[in-house]
Amino acid sequence: MSLLEDLKRQILLEGLDDEELNAVGQMLEPVRFSKGDPVFRENEPTQGLYMIKAGEVEITKKLPIDLKTKMLITVRNTQNCCEIRKTPYGWRQIFTTLMDGQFFGELSVIEGKKKHGADADATEDTELYLMRPDQFAEIEVSAPATMLKILRVIARVSSKNMRHLDKQLLRLLIGI
């Protein structure tokens, strides 16, 4: 499959024409991770925005846990409000699992954060496209119409994610 065909499958790049896709494609760095490898860790320097070409990535956050909290987690997990599990790296809350075509790391780039606020791990062999923050900024300056299309997708996906988190919070608080 050609790079252009791959980019047409990326949610972040929906609505971009072939010329825009080719320009964006020249800015992307392909990166690979084996199953179980960290893509990044919380508090590590932000590398950029990632798009999943193939594979699966899980976004999690480490939780400080005591015995009382462990009991609460057991109850919450039975209510399917949120997934929290014990891993070799400690107790983790699983925010989401992302697959082919999806993207992550966008908020760090947009907000200009220097460090990641969560962990990302490849849960299977994974191929990603990385767009570094300076390349993201370059699109904003050199192709504002392209950036507007990208930001609209980010806004739509972020809104959907917020609605999902609202539902999780309601289930956590009142068990509905």
Distance CA 83, CA 95 (A): 8
CB 65 within 8 A of CB 157: no
Say how far apart CA 157 and CA 151 lie, in whole Å.
Answer: 10
Structural domain boundaries in the chain: 3-174
Q: pLDDT tens digit string along 109-164?
A: 888 889 998 999 999 999 999 999 999 999 999 999 999 999 999 999 988 877 76
E strand segments, the chain = 29-33, 38-40, 49-54, 56-62, 83-87, 90-99, 103-104, 119-122, 126-131
What mean pLDDT is reported for the chain? 85
Largest CA distance in the chain: 56
3-174 is classed in which CATH architecture?
Sandwich (2.60)
> What is the rounded distance in angstroms from the CA atom of residue 131 to the CA atom of residue 74?
39
35-39, 163-167, 169-173: the lowest-pLDDT one: 169-173
Read off the pTM. Answer: 0.82
